[in-house]
């Protein structure tokens, strides 16, 4: 067997590493701005592009897909080549992967700032960018598989199993969840509605956590941790069992985002049980990582890379325990819609993903620059500041969550809500929000220190773009007596297919019945399609990202029905493309806002004033001003097409309604304008604010009307 000489492509690794750091800082700074806006709403600066609802998707997407995403590519492009003993399959594909991904990020940031959003968390991108994401993802997979096919090693290492699972599953999730019908280049309607949209979205959302933030990073752990510690992996068998268990079971757990919602009970139960049963498969990764360090703990004390990894893996273990706990009914009943979820997410993002990414960068950049890390003590400082930052971030949010749900649920002896004004439960949190912002700020300080250290490392180094390596070509030898899994490890295509089947089962069993079995979404006769004006208003609600602060899902608890009104029913959302249930409440639930005899009802003039300047009505409010809605003209040129798409999606507007829709829209708008006029407010029917008011005044009305008709528990 003759050795072949070949070259690893370090340039692409370098590119991704730089992009990771660049977007990391940006994503985190936007996060800090959001944290501050929740204390001082004026930091929205009174312009649309920087309001909370528009920049929150920038933050979440930048951190997940730009920072962690580029970090993942960095780690994969470096390790995959070495694990396959081969250069990347195609330099051109590598370049397309890199530049395409950065282009997506830029387009995403700009489009979110401009209010182009689908309104589904972590899947906000509009359809043209969605298509680009799919294409670039395929390029990545193609490049990866090409490399795997032309590898010079016989078996695939466990890290690569995780990379493969990442590739196939993200492709399926992204495409399934993004199916939508375009209104124009900048706006589309998801084909799913209401409960179904919610289920598909959280099947996606939860598994984006699983297959974008977890599996690739477990893969990275399996490569970089034993490398840095110079220790063998603790248990190959554990790798096998926890890998397959993890990918098979993760996919089922999505409904745990929808507990005590209008999702059918059986689907909630599946989400709950699979989440709890996921503890062991998740911990398998942690155990295998930490036990690999046996005999290397003295190194952990010295080496910042290992320190970052130990905290990362520990944070992973913590959040994969906390997550299942939050999936139980008992905990979810109190934690959901509070900042607990946000704290939980950040243990994962800052601890697991962030620290693992830094560990990889600290390990790999000095290597490809053929030098030592510029300063170990600076890296240690980064480690400590970052760790304290995480604690300062998470603990106040947990504390705040406990404070808030206690206030939401507290009754007086007479049987009244102790805090009927939702805002009081928010004002109470301001000190916690300040502490959280401090924690986030510290984390950023650490990151900047790391950036500085790495820049100096790079400056002092000597970049090795083409790293020579040699290995014999792969020749087929007999593998008599090998285990079935060993066989699979030699055969990437069958491996891919088995992984694909493993992730398909759960998704199909949960999602398909929701379409086929009518009883899962019992219809409510009084629930009628939105009027054209309300539909336009709803689209503005989506555009402005109101769902980032407001839920539209009253849970079946006394504390909720007392505050808002009748609890949520599946049938009331059947015309909602997309659903807007939200995932946290910085403001009150809005799904009963329009019920005239309800607890929250406000007249048109209130909404007008409130959208212009929330603090004028509630001095303590943290809702940003939306004053441009008062001046901006509503684009009604889209109405006919919107109506036609809705009809196509099964919304029962009468035949030919698209032609008269704008007439209907104007009539309704005139009615609101007339009412405002009586209240001394002069405006015209063609303003966006009118559509928003129409939408808000519609919320909950139909379910309330069901009271008089049939088939539903009466409103109190």
Report the site for other proteins in 29-58 (rule: CB under 8 A): none
| Residue closer to ligand HEC, measured from CB, 304 or 537 | 537
d(CA 261, CA 275): 17
d(CA 384, CA 56): 27
Contact pick of 489, 544, 566, 572 for ligand HEC (by CB under 6 A): 544
For the bound state, the minimum distance from the C-beta of residue 262 to other proteins, rounded and expressed in Å, comes to 10
Helix (H, G, I), strand (E, B) or coil at 184: strand
Which of 642, 543, 547, 634 is closest to 181 using CA atoms?
642
Contacts of 130 (CB under 8 A, 6+ apart): 174, 178, 180
Q: Which helix (H) or strand (E) holds 472?
A: strand 466-472
Contact pick of 175, 277, 448, 649 for other proteins (by CB under 8 A): 277
CA distances from 403 to 191, 428, 557 (A): 39, 8, 18
Half-sphere exposure of 204 (CA within 13 A, CB side): 20
For the bound state, the minimum distance from the C-beta of residue 540 to ligand HEC, rounded and expressed in Å, comes to 7
Write out the two tokens for 242. 């926890």
Region near ligand HEC per CB under 6 A, out of 161-169, 218-226, 419-427, 428-436:
419-427
Does the footprint of other proteins cover residue 470 (CB under 8 A)? no
Q: Rounded to the nearest 5°, which phi and psi values hold at 53? A: -60, -25
d(CA 624, CA 545): 12
Does the footprint of other proteins cover residue 597 (CB under 8 A)? yes
Q: Which does 277 bind (CB under 5 to 8 A by kind): other proteins, ligand HEC, none?
A: other proteins
Q: Which does 294 bind (CB under 5 to 8 A by kind): other proteins, ligand HEC, none?
A: other proteins
d(CA 580, CA 345): 20
Contact 65, 105 (CB under 8 A): yes
Contact pick of 406, 605, 647, 683 for other proteins (by CB under 8 A): 605
For the bound state, the minimum distance from the C-beta of residue 49 to other proteins, rounded and expressed in Å, comes to 28
Contact pick of 299, 367, 430, 486 for other proteins (by CB under 8 A): 486
Does the footprint of other proteins cover residue 132 (CB under 8 A)? no
d(CA 118, CA 547): 11
Contact pick of 82, 150, 152, 641 for other proteins (by CB under 8 A): 82
Return the C-alpha torsion angle 590, 596, 597, 600, nearest 10.
30
- The residue sitting closest to ligand HEC, measured at its beta carbon, is 587
| Site residue total, ligand HEC (CB under 6 A) | 30
* Binding track, positions 284-303, relative to other proteins; x by CB under 8 A: x--x---x--xx--------
Contact pick of 190, 194, 578, 588 for ligand HEC (by CB under 6 A): 588
Write out the two tokens for 178. 């993004």
Quote the DSSP letter at residue 253.
-
Q: Which does 616 bind (CB under 5 to 8 A by kind): other proteins, ligand HEC, none?
A: other proteins
Region near ligand HEC per CB under 6 A, out of 296-304, 358-366, 434-442, 583-591:
583-591
Does the footprint of ligand HEC cover residue 587 (CB under 6 A)? yes
Residues 686-715 that bind ligand HEC (CB under 6 A): 692, 696
Q: Which does 705 bind (CB under 5 to 8 A by kind): ligand HEC, other proteins, none?
A: none
For the bound state, the minimum distance from the C-beta of residue 632 to ligand HEC, rounded and expressed in Å, comes to 12
Does the footprint of other proteins cover residue 405 (CB under 8 A)? no
Helix extents (H) in 293-412: 297-302, 304-327, 329-335, 340-346, 355-368, 376-409
Residues 606-645 that bind ligand HEC (CB under 6 A): 606-607, 614, 618, 621-624, 626
Residues 155-174 that bind other proteins (CB under 8 A): 155, 157, 159
Contact pick of 118, 171, 312, 546 for ligand HEC (by CB under 6 A): 546
d(CA 134, CA 145): 16
| Residue closer to ligand HEC, measured from CB, 367 or 627 | 627
Q: Which does 426 bind (CB under 5 to 8 A by kind): ligand HEC, other proteins, none?
A: ligand HEC
Does the footprint of other proteins cover residue 517 (CB under 8 A)? no
d(CA 63, CA 149): 32
Q: Rounded to the nearest 5°, which phi and psi values hold at 185? A: -65, -25
Contact 28, 444 (CB under 8 A): yes
For the bound state, the minimum distance from the C-beta of residue 375 to ligand HEC, rounded and expressed in Å, comes to 40
Does the footprint of ligand HEC cover residue 261 (CB under 6 A)? no
Q: Which helix (H) or strand (E) holds 4?
A: strand 3-9
Contact pick of 231, 602, 641, 644 for ligand HEC (by CB under 6 A): 602
**What is the Cα 55 distance to its own chain's centre?**
14
Region near other proteins per CB under 8 A, out of 262-270, 302-310, 373-381, 444-452:
262-270
Residues 425-454 that bind ligand HEC (CB under 6 A): 426
Contact 10, 466 (CB under 8 A): yes
| Residue closer to other proteins, measured from CB, 578 or 598 | 598
**DSSP one-letter string for 102-121:** HHHHHHHHHHHHTT----ST
Does the footprint of ligand HEC cover residue 423 (CB under 6 A)? yes
Quote the DSSP letter at residue 602.
-
**Other beta carbons less than 10 A from residue 147's beta carbon:** 23
| Residue closer to ligand HEC, measured from CB, 53 or 439 | 53
| Site residue total, other proteins (CB under 8 A) | 80
Q: Which does 679 bind (CB under 5 to 8 A by kind): ligand HEC, other proteins, none?
A: other proteins
Q: Which does 641 bind (CB under 5 to 8 A by kind): other proteins, ligand HEC, none?
A: none
Quickly tell me which residue has 């019992």 as its tokens: 522
CA distances from 631 to 606, 612, 662, 685, 709 (A): 17, 10, 20, 11, 40
Does the footprint of ligand HEC cover residue 419 (CB under 6 A)? no
Write out the two tokens for 218. 């477990």
**Residue numbers of the site for ligand HEC (CB under 6 A)?**
52-53, 422-423, 426, 541, 544, 546, 548-550, 586-588, 590, 593, 600, 602-603, 606-607, 614, 618, 621-624, 626, 692, 696
């Amino acid at each position: 067997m003759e050795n072949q000489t070949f070259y690893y492509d370090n340039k692409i690794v370098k590119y991704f590493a730089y992009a990771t750091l660049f977007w990391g800082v940006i994503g985190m700074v936007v996060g800090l701005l959001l944290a501050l806006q929740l204390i001082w709403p004026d930091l929205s600066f009174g312009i649309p592009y920087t309001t909370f609802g528009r920049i929150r998707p920038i933050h979440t997407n930048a951190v997940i897909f730009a920072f962690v995403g580029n970090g993942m590519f960095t780690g994969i492009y470096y390790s995959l080549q070495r694990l396959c003993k081969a250069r990347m399959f195609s330099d051109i594909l590598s370049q397309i992967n890199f530049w395409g991904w950065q282009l997506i990020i830029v387009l995403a940031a700009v489009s979110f700032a401009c209010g182009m959003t689908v309104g589904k968390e972590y899947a906000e991108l509009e359809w043209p960018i969605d298509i680009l994401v799919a294409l670039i993802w395929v390029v990545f997979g193609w490049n990866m598989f090409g490399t795997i096919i032309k590898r010079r090693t016989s078996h695939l290492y466990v890290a690569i199993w995780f990379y493969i699972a990442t590739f196939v599953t993200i492709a399926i999730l992204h495409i399934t969840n993004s199916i939508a019908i375009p209104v124009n280049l900048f706006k589309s309607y998801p084909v799913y509605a209401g409960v179904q949209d919610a289920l598909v979205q959280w099947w996606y959302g939860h598994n984006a956590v699983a297959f974008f933030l977890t599996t690739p990073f477990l893969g990275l752990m399996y490569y970089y941790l034993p490398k840095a510690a110079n220790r063998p992996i603790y248990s190959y068998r554990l790798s096998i069992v926890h890998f397959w268990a993890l990918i098979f079971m993760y996919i089922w757990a999505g409904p745990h985002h929808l507990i005590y919602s209008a999702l059918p009970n059986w689907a909630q139960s599946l989400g709950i049980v699979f989440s709890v049963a996921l503890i062991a498969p998740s911990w398998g990764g942690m155990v295998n990582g930490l036990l690999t360090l046996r005999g290397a703990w003295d190194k952990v004390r010295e080496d910042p890379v290992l320190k970052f990894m130990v905290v990362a893996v520990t944070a992973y273990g913590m959040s994969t325990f906390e997550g299942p706990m939050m999936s139980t009914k008992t905990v979810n009943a109190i934690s959901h819609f509070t900042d607990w979820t946000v704290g939980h997410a950040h243990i994962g993002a800052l601890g697991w993903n962030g620290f693992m990414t830094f560990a990889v960068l600290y390990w790999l950049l000095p290597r490809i620059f053929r030098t030592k890390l510029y300063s170990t003590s600076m890296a240690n400082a980064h480690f400590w500041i970052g760790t304290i930052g995480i604690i300062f971030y998470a603990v106040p949010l947990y504390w705040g969550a406990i404070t808030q749900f206690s206030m939401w649920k507290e009754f007086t002896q007479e049987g009244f809500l102790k805090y009927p004004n939702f805002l009081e439960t928010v004002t109470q949190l301001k000190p916690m929000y300040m502490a959280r912002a401090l924690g986030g700020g510290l984390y950023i300080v650490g990151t900047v220190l790391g950036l500085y250290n790495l820049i100096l490392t790079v400056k002092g180094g000597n970049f090795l773009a083409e790293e020579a390596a040699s290995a014999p070509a792969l020749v087929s030898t007999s593998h008599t007596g090998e285990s079935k899994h060993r066989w699979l490890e030699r055969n990437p295509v069958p491996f891919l297919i088995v992984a694909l089947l493993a992730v398909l089962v759960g998704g199909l069993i949960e999602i398909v019945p929701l379409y086929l079995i009518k009883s899962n979404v019992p219809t409510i006769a009084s629930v009628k399609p939105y009027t054209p004006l309300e539909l336009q208003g709803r689209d503005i609600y989506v555009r402005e990202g109101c769902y980032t602060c407001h839920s539209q899902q009253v849970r079946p608890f006394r504390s909720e029905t007392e505050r808002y009104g009748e609890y949520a029913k599946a049938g009331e959302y059947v015309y909602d493309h997309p659903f807007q249930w939200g995932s946290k409440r910085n403001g009150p639930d809005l799904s009963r806002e329009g019920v005239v005899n309800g607890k929250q009802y406000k007249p048109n003039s209130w909404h007008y004033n409130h959208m212009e300047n929330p603090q004028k009505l509630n001095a303590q409010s943290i809702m940003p001003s939306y004053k441009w809605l008062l001046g901006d003209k509503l684009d009604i040129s889209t109405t006919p097409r919107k109506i036609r798409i809705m009809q196509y999606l099964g919304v029962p507007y009468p035949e030919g309604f698209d032609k008269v829709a704008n007439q209907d829209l104007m009539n309704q708008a005139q009615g609101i304008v007339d009412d405002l006029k009586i209240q001394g407010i002069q405006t015209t029917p063609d303003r966006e604010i009118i559509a928003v008011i129409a939408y808000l005044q519609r919320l909950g009305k139909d379910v309330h009307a069901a009271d008089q008709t049939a088939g539903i528990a009466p409103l109190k």
